[in-house]
Chain A
Amino acid sequence: MSKPLHLALDMIRCDAYGHCAELLPELIELDQWGYPIIEAASVPEHLHGDARRAVAACPRLALKLERRAATRGPAGTGAAR
């Protein structure tokens, strides 16, 4: 079995366009300044298509999909702490 898909956000790149939250509201909401908050980084099977569209729509290339085993740190930090 392959590792589950996870959303990874590069907060340094992100410029709050907000397209991701429109295309993937199930997993992404925006804070009061328009920056994405990713509630659960792991993407369930039925949302793979929407997640790929959200990644493709980011003008800043700040959102990525990664295959990895465990959660590596809080979503939206890009950091392993």
Chain B
Amino acid sequence: MSAYAGQPLRARDREGTCGLLPPHGAATYEQFLKLYGPTPRPGERLLDIVQASGLSGRGGAGFPTARKLRAVRDGRRPVVLANGTEGEPASHKDEVLLSHNPHLVIDGALLAADAVRARRVIIAVARAADAAAQLERALASRPDGDRVEVRTVPDRFIAGEESALIHFLNGGEAKPTNTPPRPFERGVGGRPTLVQNVETLATLALIARYGEGWFRASGTAEEPGNVLATVAGAVRMPGVLEVPLGIELSDLFARCGGLTEPARAYLVGGYFGRWVPAVEGLELSSASLATAGGSLGARTVVAFPQSSCGVLESARVIAYMAGQSAEQCGPCVFGLRTLAARFATIARAEPGAAEAYRALDGLHRQIARRGACAHPDGVLGFAASATRVFADEFSAHLAGHCTARSHQPVLPVPVKQGDWR
């Protein structure tokens, strides 16, 4: 997905400011400077500005950015690691951001580095993406470009998990490690490491230019600012767009040309996310999504069409996610494999479906909170939300039939598998 949908909220023509995704992008440094002006130099004052802005991480976990910055500021000289790996198959926002506005990401990484006195700055992207070459070109075209290293990372769902990413950059396999130590304690080259999603850093570069008041003018009081969202499924123009947090999901779909058919449910937050029922009035905010059992994640929103089978789609995703285990922790390796097999049996409405369904609770207890990383728990949460939201379809499957009219895949599941190194 290289195009983005909808219209960005802030174009250059309003208040002289510009958002994350300007209408025609800012691929070259000249275009970028024309739109955004030179890189500001707030130095360590940036921490106070970021603190006042209330910016939280845009990679999915939503951790307060100022706290992360402060955690690495005072100790040994830290490393800044911009995470643009985006292993989540349903998300394309980092890919679109890096290709349409690479200089904003670079700016953000350098600003963060200046704020925490870091010398080494790394931007990590997936191997398969074109992002590495685009970034190298962007860096070559700016005077401060030699301060930033670009590293490519194996194409694996889990390779972007921060401990896996650091393990890889330190010469190991792209597999999660035990924590502690957390990255801010010991990361790349053994140094305290600030790991930030590329969208977080791009947003930080905007806040450094326009101030916290500008940032807070958009979004909600609890969750200020604009974000990138990837919208897919039953919409006319799927893609990535920039929206304020708190936007109604119906508005989000309207900006993508509207729904092609009524939605049966929404998948919010990607494959570590949750299915939520397609109820009216839901907003793209943590508070609103929590009322429906969901969470924001990296703002991947799939409108799941009425005609499709939620059980089958969930089974496909769980099978993919089981295959994405780093194969280190027994409960993850064997537990997710078993979970995938149970879901497949139910999805096919086979005679063993009822038995497979009854086994899910016990299976859940044997997997939950027993992995070194969040992978197994993420998949469990997804699976549990499927049984809640598609309860009627599960009943039909247990009775031996499927009510869906279409079995065309809706959610993307990559078949190509990257290496670990």
Interface residues of A (CB under 8 A from B): 10-12, 14-16, 31-35, 37, 74, 76-81
Contact segment of B177-185, B258-266, B282-290: B177-185
Per CB-CB distance, the 3 closest pairs between chain A and chain B, nearest first, are A35-B330, A33-B334, A11-B329
A77 in complex: contacting residue of B330, B334, B372, CB < 8 Å: B372
Interface of A is mostly: loop
Please name all residues of chain B whose beta carbon is closer than 8 Å to the beta carbon of A74 when the two chains form the complex. Answer: 369-370
B-side interface size class: 10 to 19
CA A79 to CA B177, docked complex, whole Å: 10
Complex contacts, B406 vs chain A, CB 8 Å:
none
A sample of 14 more A-B contacts (CB under 8 A), given A11-B370, A78-B372, is: A12-B177, A12-B329, A12-B372, A31-B366, A32-B366, A33-B334, A34-B330, A35-B330, A35-B334, A74-B370, A77-B372, A78-B178, A79-B372, A79-B373
Cβ contacts B323-339/A at 8 Å (1 or 0 each)? 00000111100110000
Contacts of A33 in B (CB 8 A): 330-331, 334-335
Report which B residues bind A (CB closer than 8 A).
Answer: 177-180, 328-331, 334-335, 366, 369-374
Minimum distance in angstroms from A48 CB to a CB of chain B: 25
* Alpha-carbon separation in the docked complex, A81 to B334 (Å): 23
**24 pairs of residues in contact across A and B, judged by CB atoms under 8 Å:** A10-B178, A10-B372, A11-B329, A11-B331, A11-B371, A12-B328, A12-B329, A12-B372, A14-B329, A14-B330, A16-B330, A31-B330, A31-B331, A31-B366, A33-B330, A35-B334, A37-B370, A74-B370, A77-B370, A79-B179, A79-B372, A79-B373, A80-B180, A81-B369
User: Roughly how many angstroms separate A77 CA and B331 CA in the complex, as a whole number?
Assistant: 10
Q: How far is the CB of A21 from chain B (nearest CB, A)?
A: 13
Using A14-B330, A33-B334, A33-B335 as known contacts, say yes or no to A76 and B178 having CB atoms under 8 A apart: no
How many Å lie between the Cα of A78 and that of B178 in the bound state? 6
* A12 B334 Cβ-Cβ under 8 A: no
Given contacts A31-B366, A33-B335, A77-B370, contact A11 B330 (CB under 8 A): yes
Q: Which of B328, B330, B371 has the most CB of A within 10 A?
A: B330
Most buried by A among B179, B331, B369, B373: B331
